[in-house]
Structures are given as structure tokens and as C-alpha cells.
Amino acid sequence: MAETNKKATLTIGNDTYDLPILSPTEGPDVVDVRKLYGQADVFTYDPGFTSTASCDSAITYIDGEEGVLLHRGYPIDQLAEKSHFLEVCYLLLYGELPTAAQLEDFESRVTNHTMVHEQMHRFFTGFRRDAHPMAIMTGVVGAMSAFYHDSTDIHDPWHREVASIRLIAKMPTIAAMAYKYSIGQPFVYPRNDLDFAGNFLRMCFSVPAEDYQVNPILSRAMDRIFTLHADHEQNASTSTVRLASSSGANPFACIAAGIACLWGPAHGGANQAALESLKEIGTPDRIPEFIARAKDKDDPFRLMGFGHRVYKNFDPRAKVMKQSADEVLDLLGVENNPILAVAKEVEKQALEDDYFVDRKLFPNVDFYSGIILEAMGFPTSMFTPIFAVSRTVGWVSQWKEMIEDPQMKIGRPRQLYTGPSQRDYVDVENR
């Protein structure tokens, strides 16, 4: 970020104010309003902060108009095609792709931290059996601060490093335990001879009564899901983590806050919404009816999983995810799963429909990830927890970047007050 010679001039009544303009390495220039309140006694108004940069960051860049997603400068499709999740984790955390020795060391550190404290098992049994896995994860991750006192001092670089590794390593174990608890099966301990994605699949689907062999196609698809959801700039949950961390809260509490925000259906529940949309359609013969409804602006029905709030052209993650979806469906088939049959036909018809093509309403990453997870056998209640496993490295990377930023201040958004003006209190007998 660099200050340019350009200035923005703001006129308020008879007064004018010159505001500095900052230039990023990618993306639009930014008008610096940090001193505006002190100079002019006014705030800016931007509900949802959709036109406001809340921080500067070197981690992820998105150009929604062009369909670009970069992690530390590397396009997401190249990372998903040529790399794997833990290598991308290293990139997000440390800024550069690792050497072979660095990657081996990092993978070893993550692998050796996948077990959770045995006493934490008791937390799970305190929840009702029908508790949503996200509720369990929010509580258990927050409780990690009560177990790992050697990694809660945010001002200690070593504490930050240990906390980062622990969160990345233990999140899939916690998510799998939440799933196992919800279906009444025993917890499955992680194994150090499996990779990150394969280990997660085994912890979710193996049972003591028989051996479980990780299918490499399913493991690769799971790894891609993790990779494609690893970070997404200053989205709602990432901003929540940053806001929580600005108060000096410990890392486990901050990530628990991110999980709680991700739980919302407008955020982490998007792939679940896409699958539920397919279930509403029900059978392939009803697809034309629902596509017509989706095109009717007076009909409340929305065909979820098409288009994206950020990407106005195409979702760069979707192409890679579609390849994984095709591989998984070729392996597992769709004959006995009507939802997957509907998904394949919806994709075909929408891509041939001028309404969708002209408006660039292409299938997004949530459409394909929902299909993959359904085919693997995950219930929709596990879709968002899997998203949380993926996004943990993004949250941790953004958290570390913020803590290490000398400009860090506690978050304090302003407001446009619309309540009553000051008035005098009236005793109850005179009201």
C-alpha cells in the first residue's frame, strides 16, 4: 500500500478537505478517511462495509468482475490443480510456497497435533444428541483456551505459532467428533500415516467393526474442497475474527467467533442451501418448471448455487470443483441418489439457457461442493462444519497478520443514530 500524489476533495458546506488516496498492489484505489472525523466532525456511512476497506492485507485478493482469486499472488485454480491443502496452508500463513524440507516439517507439525486433549471428550457428552455440529464446534473450540495455556498470549510470537498449528490440526478432529456424536457412533482417533483429507474422511466414516480404506479420489476431492475454501478475503466470518482479535482476545475465542458467524445461512450455509434447492425440485422432469420460476422476478423461488455475490463473471473455484464433482460422481454413480441426478440435469439445462448465460449465472463453488459432500454421504448438517475446517487456516492467517500489524486498533464502527434526542426522565407516577 502506498500513498499517491492524488487527493480526493470533499466539500462540506463552505469547507473543503483533501483526503489522501492510497494505491494497493491490485484493485481500486482507496480514499483514506481515517482523519475525517477529527477534521470535519463527520462519519462515513456504509452499511455492511461493502465500499469500505477495514484493513490492509497481503494474504488474499479478489476481483469479482474478472473472476480472479489470488492467495499471496497465486491464482486459486493453479493452487487447487498443482498443490494440496497443507501446502496452501503454509502459503497463507507464511507468505511463500514452502521448499520440500519446509513442507515436510510443516506437515509433521500439523500431523502431530491432530489429537485433542482426552478430557475434551467430556464436552461432547454434555451436548444433546441432536445438537447441530456447528453449535458443538463453537463451544469446543472456545473451550480450547482452557486447555492450552501455553498458546494464548497473543503478544508472544511462539504462542501465536503454536496456537495456529493447533487450530489447523485439531479442527478436523473436532468436526469429525461432532459428527460421530450426532449419529451415536464412537469417536475415531486420528492416524499419523494418513494425509489431512484422508484422515478427516476416516475419522468421519470408519467404525470399529470393520477396516476403512480411504479412496484416493474421494480424498483428493475432499482436499480440493478444503483448498478452495481456505480463505476468501474480508468476508463476514474473517471480519468477525479480526474484530474479536482487535480486543486482544485469545486465538481460540476469536476462531470460535468466526465459527459462529460462519454458521449463518447467508455465509457458510450456502452449499446446504444449494442442495436444499435441488431437493425442492425433486425429480428431473420438474426442472423446466423451477428454471421458469427462477427467471420470474415476481416468484420468491431462487435457484441456489448459481451466481455469486462477489463474482460477477464466474467463480474461479467452480471449474476445479466441477472436475472433482465429475470424478466423484463417476466413482460413486448417481443411479441411487435422485438429488445428484437432479443436480446433473439442472447444471446442463442452466448452462444452455440464455437467461442464465446472459446474466453469467454459472454454477458456483457451493453448487459443486454440495453435490460432492452429498455423494460422499455427509448430511447437510455437516456441510458448514467442513467449511469451518477449510476456513480455519484463513482465519488464523488473518488473525496473525492483524496481531503483527503495528497499525492495529480495537475495532469500533460508528453509527447513524436514529433514536430520540436527549430527553428528561419522568417518574413512573407522572407517566
The per-residue pLDDT for range 254-273, each reduced to its tens digit, is 999 999 999 987 777 777 77
> Which DSSP helix (H) or strand (E) runs through 18?
strand 15-23
Backbone angles phi, psi at 70, to 5 degrees: -115, 135
Instruction: Select which of 84, 229, 308, 315 is catalytic.
Output: 308
34-38, 369-373, 391-395: least confidently modelled range = 369-373
- Residue 78: predicted pLDDT: 95
Mean pLDDT of 5-33: 92
Sheet holding 74-75, edge to edge: 60-63, 68-71, 74-75
| pLDDT class of 185 with cuts at 50, 70, 90 | very high
Residues in Cβ contact with 342 at an 8 Å cutoff, skipping those fewer than 6 apart: 278, 281, 282, 283, 284, 287
Closest alpha carbon to 323 in 194, 223, 204:
223
Catalytic residue among 366, 405, 424, 427: 366
pLDDT at 411 over 70: yes
Closest CA to 56 of 81, 22, 84, 82: 22
pLDDT mean over 345-370: 84
366 is catalytic: yes
pLDDT 10s digits, 298-338: 888 888 888 777 777 778 888 888 888 888 988 887 666 77
Instruction: Please classify residue 3 by burial: count the beta carbons closer than 10 Å to its beta carbon, then call 0-12 exposed, 13-18 middle and 19+ buried.
Output: exposed
Digit-coded pLDDT (tens) for 204-231: 999 999 999 999 999 999 999 999 999 9
**Half-sphere exposure for 332 (CA within 13 Å, toward CB):** 23
How far separated are the first and last CA of the chain, in Å rounded? 57
Give residue 344's pLDDT.
Answer: 79
